[in-house]
């Protein structure tokens, strides 16, 4: 039976460390600040934004929320981001995705000042991640790396298979595993022989967004299985991509959903906001 990788427990440690750093910064008169922008009324986005605000409170980070109506224009949104770029109380800017149709997410991402880009989506930060000279790491892949580290799982030399190649999860995930000296295979919707490739993974990361996508016959006995997916099952319950019942019998370690990667994402956002506040005050993170 697989050992469960407890994202709640590990995220609590990361947040506790962030809280200690915030307390030290406050002694120097620096209060890390995060602005969260949400456009429209997507219920899942509302839950994420509320969770982020709660985490800020718990860690001692100052937060501001900008809840804009779905008919907000691109220019209004860009104007807000430009204003936040100039606002000294705000060290991190997060625009919750997805944005309503008609808004250009790519243009928005490029408008966020890279030093306030706590999601690490700006091309400058993406380039730094490619080089391995980053200040910020995208929260979800960074959370996965932290979970691996805290479970004592060695990535060096392992065959790591990432299913999914999105800019926010799959691609940076693959890059971080590569920086940790994993041998990385990236799979996507056009991949042939997906099951065979997955069965050769020592570390399998699924970021597809389809409930029950990863079945037992895709898992090598003893593999580490990381489930990034956040989906709803037929009864409307939150679930990942992995058939947990089948996978836990085969894997050595596995992340549950909920309680695995999800809480890590928010904890890494807190860490990135602290890093941003340090960088903007000339302190080495």
Helix (H) or strand (E) holding 260: none
* 83 belongs to the catalytic site: no
113 burial (CB, 10 Å; 0-12 / 13-18 / 19+) is: middle
**What is the spatial distance between Cα 77 and Cα 83, in angstroms, rounded to a whole number?**
10
Confirm or reject binding of residue 126 to ligand NAP (CB under 6 A). no
Q: How far is the CB of 76 from ligand NAP (least distance, A)?
A: 25
Q: Any bridge partners for residue 110, and if so which?
A: none
Select the residue interacting with ligand NAP from 2, 95, 205, 230 (CB under 6 A): 230
63: tokens are 């937060």
Interatomic CA distance for residues 97 and 168, integer angstroms? 11
Residue of the chain from 17, 135, 191, 252 that contacts ligand NAP (CB under 6 A): 191
Task: Please work out the total of residues on this chain that contact ligand NAP, with binding judged by CB under 6 A.
Answer: 24
**Active-site entry in 15, 116, 117, 119:** 119
Does the footprint of ligand NAP cover residue 153 (CB under 6 A)? no
Work out how close the CB of 9 gets to ligand NAP at its nearest, in angstroms, rounded to a whole number.
Answer: 16
- Of the candidates 257, 261, 270, the residue with the CA atom closest to the CA atom of residue 54: 270
Among 56, 59, 77, 207, binds ligand NAP (CB under 6 A): 207
Shorter beta-carbon distance to ligand NAP: residue 192 or 235: 192
Q: Label residue 212 left, alpha or beta by phi (over 0 means left) and psi (-120 to 50 means alpha).
A: left
Which residue from 45, 135, 151, 166 is in contact with ligand NAP, where contact means CB under 6 A?
166
Q: Which of 111, 220, 265, 280 binds ligand NAP (CB under 6 A)?
A: 265
- Measured at the CA of 268, the angle between CA 107 and CA 46, to 5 degrees, comes to 60
Residue 176 interacts with ligand NAP (CB under 6 A): yes or no: no
Q: Which is nearer to ligand NAP, 86 or 235 (CB)?
A: 235
Q: Assess whether 284 carries a catalytic annotation.
A: no
Residues in the chain: 285
In the residue annotation, 117 being an active-site residue is answered as: no
Interaction between residue 192 and ligand NAP (CB under 6 A): no
The CA-based diameter of the chain, rounded to the nearest angstrom, is 56
In Å, how far are 37, 39, 51, 142 from 112, measured between CA atoms? 12, 16, 22, 20
Q: Which of 33, 43, 41, 49 lies closest to 93, judged by CA?
A: 33
Kindly write out the interface string for residues 52-91 of this chain, putting x where it contacts ligand NAP by CB under 6 A and - elsewhere. ----------------------------------------
Return the H-helix or E-strand segment holding 184.
strand 183-187
Instruction: Name which of 194 and 279 has its Cβ closer to ligand NAP.
Output: 194
In the complex, what is the shortest distance from the CB of residue 231 to ligand NAP, in angstroms, rounded to a whole number? 5
Give the whole-angstrom CA distance, residue 57 versus residue 32.
Answer: 11
Closest CA to 169 of 195, 149, 193, 188: 188
Part in contact with ligand NAP (CB under 6 A); list of ranges 75-83, 149-157, 217-225, 229-237: 229-237
Find the binder of ligand NAP among 169, 197, 214, 224 (CB under 6 A).
169
- Does 170 bind ligand NAP (CB under 6 A)? Our answer is yes
Q: What does the binding site for ligand NAP look like in residue numbers (CB under 6 A)?
A: 140, 163-166, 168-170, 187-191, 194, 207-209, 228-231, 261-262, 265
> Which amino acids are annotated catalytic?
52, 96, 119
């Amino acid at each position: 039976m697989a050992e469960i990788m407890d994202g709640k427990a590990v995220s609590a440690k990361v947040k506790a460390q962030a809280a200690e750093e915030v307390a030290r910064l406050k002694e120097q008169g620096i209060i890390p600040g995060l602005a969260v922008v949400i456009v429209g009324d997507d219920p899942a986005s509302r839950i994420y934004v509320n969770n982020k605000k709660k985490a800020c409170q718990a860690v001692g980070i100052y937060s501001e929320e900008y809840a804009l109506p779905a008919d907000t224009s691109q220019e209004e949104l860009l104007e807000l981001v430009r204003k936040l770029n100039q606002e000294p109380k705000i060290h991190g800017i997060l625009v919750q995705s997805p944005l309503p149709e008609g808004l250009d997410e790519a243009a928005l991402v490029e408008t966020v000042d890279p030093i306030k880009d706590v999601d690490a989506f700006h091309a400058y930060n993406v380039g730094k991640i490619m080089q391995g000279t980053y200040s910020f790491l995208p929260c979800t892949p960074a959370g996965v790396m932290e979970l691996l580290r805290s479970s004592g799982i060695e990535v060096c030399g392992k065959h790591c298979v990432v299913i999914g190649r999105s800019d926010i999860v799959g691609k940076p995930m693959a890059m971080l595993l590569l920086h940790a000296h994993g041998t990385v295979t990236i799979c996507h919707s056009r991949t042939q022989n997906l099951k065979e490739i997955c069965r050769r993974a020592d570390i399998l990361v699924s970021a597809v967004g389809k409930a029950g996508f990863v079945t037992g016959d895709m898992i090598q006995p003893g593999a580490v299985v990381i489930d990034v997916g956040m989906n709803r099952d037929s009864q409307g319950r939150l679930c990942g991509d992995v058939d947990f019942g089948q996978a836990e019998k085969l894997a050595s370690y596995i992340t549950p959903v909920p309680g695995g990667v999800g809480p890590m994402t928010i904890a890494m956002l807190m860490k990135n906001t602290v890093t941003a506040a340090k960088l903007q005050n000339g302190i080495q993170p």
